[in-house]
Amino acid sequence: MVEVTLWGALGTAAGGKSKVEIEAKDIRELFRKLAEQHPALEPHIQRGIAVAINGEIYRDTWSKEFPAGAEIFLLPRLAGG
């Protein structure tokens, strides 16, 4: 079970909650369960979300596992220049 913090727009889409509890061991499972439990998040997930695990930003790796007690934060998927 991990606690996930959602940034503004995602929180609104999840019914106003900024923190949700999800049973997931890695990023892929997290996205799948999030979409199941909060269908309004699906378009955001499709568009692209980055996951910050203990402050480090992961943009692509589905298999990245969550260490015990990790702080999980969902962010917009960014690009640089």
Distance between CA atoms of 73 and 81, rounded to whole angstroms? Answer: 23
CB of 19 to another protein, least distance (A): 11
Which positions from 39 through 58 interact with another protein, judged by CB under 8 A?
A: 47, 52, 54-58
Distance between CA atoms of 33 and 56, rounded to whole angstroms? Answer: 22
Rank residues 1 and 55 by Cβ distance to another protein and give the closer one.
Answer: 55
Rank residues 29 and 71 by Cβ distance to another protein and give the closer one.
Answer: 71
Pick from 9, 19, 23, 37 the residue near another protein by CB under 8 A. Answer: 9
